[in-house]
Amino acid sequence: MSGEKFEQKLKKLEEIVEKLENGEVDIEENLKLFQEGMKLGKECRKMLDDIELKVSKVLSAEGDEVKTESFDEPL
């Protein structure tokens, strides 16, 4: 799973959420899916944080003035 792209991880996470919401699996499988979903969520967040850092570096390299923009604000 570690070599997967962000989009692949996100798709798996969406599939897990759908399975959990449907309630079609037993309690043991729910726990397993929940744990996998939490792991994927953390991995996706880390990937986004890394991308945000790279974008900040690119923006700051474009001139003498450091330009950073928050990704937390809604578009």
CA atoms within 13 A on the CB side of 65: 2
- pLDDT top residue among 56 and 66: 56
Say if CB 67 and CB 59 are below 8 A apart.
Answer: yes
Q: With 70 as the cut, is the pLDDT of residue 48 above it?
A: yes
Tell me, yes or no, whether 50 lies in a domain.
yes
CA atoms within 13 A on the CB side of 50: 7
Tell me, yes or no, whether 47 lies in a domain.
yes
pTM: 0.70
Tell me, yes or no, whether 31 lies in a domain.
yes
Tell me, yes or no, whether 17 lies in a domain.
yes
Burial 34-49 (b: 16+ CB within 10 A, else e): eeebeebeebbeeeee
pLDDT, position 75:
44
Tell me, yes or no, whether 54 lies in a domain.
yes
Tell me, yes or no, whether 74 lies in a domain.
no
Tell me, yes or no, whether 12 lies in a domain.
yes
pLDDT tens digits, one per residue of 5-42:
999 999 999 999 999 999 888 999 999 999 999 999 99
Domain count within the chain: 1
The structure tokens listed for 1 are 């799973």
- The range of the structural domain enclosing residue 28 comes to 6-60
